[in-house]
Amino acid sequence: MLYIVIVMTHGDILKKLQEYEKRIEYERDFVDIKPYSHNIISLNLQMIDDLEIVGCTASDIIKKYDLESLGW
């Protein structure tokens, strides 16, 4: 069995977090206008959770960008 381990530095993780948040912020304006905006936001929220950053969860991002008002 082959295992591949990918190691990300703290800086890499923060860059990814910023990238995911930027996509969420952009797609937020197109929910119910463009197809797949909900899916893109949901995928980015999942990727943020997968980063396993202490103190930063998908729930925090949902509150930060007021996604509750859009159905999250």
The model carries a pTM of: 0.84
Q: Kindly tell me if the per-residue pLDDT of 5 is higher than 80.
A: no
**Residue-level pLDDT at 3:** 77
Q: Answer whether residue 39 is part of any domain.
A: yes
Q: Answer whether residue 29 is part of any domain.
A: yes
Residue range 54-59: average pLDDT? Answer: 89
Residue range 41-65: average pLDDT? Answer: 93
Q: Answer whether residue 5 is part of any domain.
A: no
Q: How many domains does the chain have?
A: 1
Q: Answer whether residue 43 is part of any domain.
A: yes
Q: Answer whether residue 2 is part of any domain.
A: no
Per residue in 37-71, is it b (16+ CB within 10 Å) or e — as a string? bbebbbebbeebeeeeeeebebeebbeebebeeee
**Residue ranges making up the domain that contains 20:** 10-70
Q: Answer whether residue 4 is part of any domain.
A: no
**Residue-level pLDDT at 52:** 87
Alpha carbons 23 and 46: distance in angstroms, whole number: 13
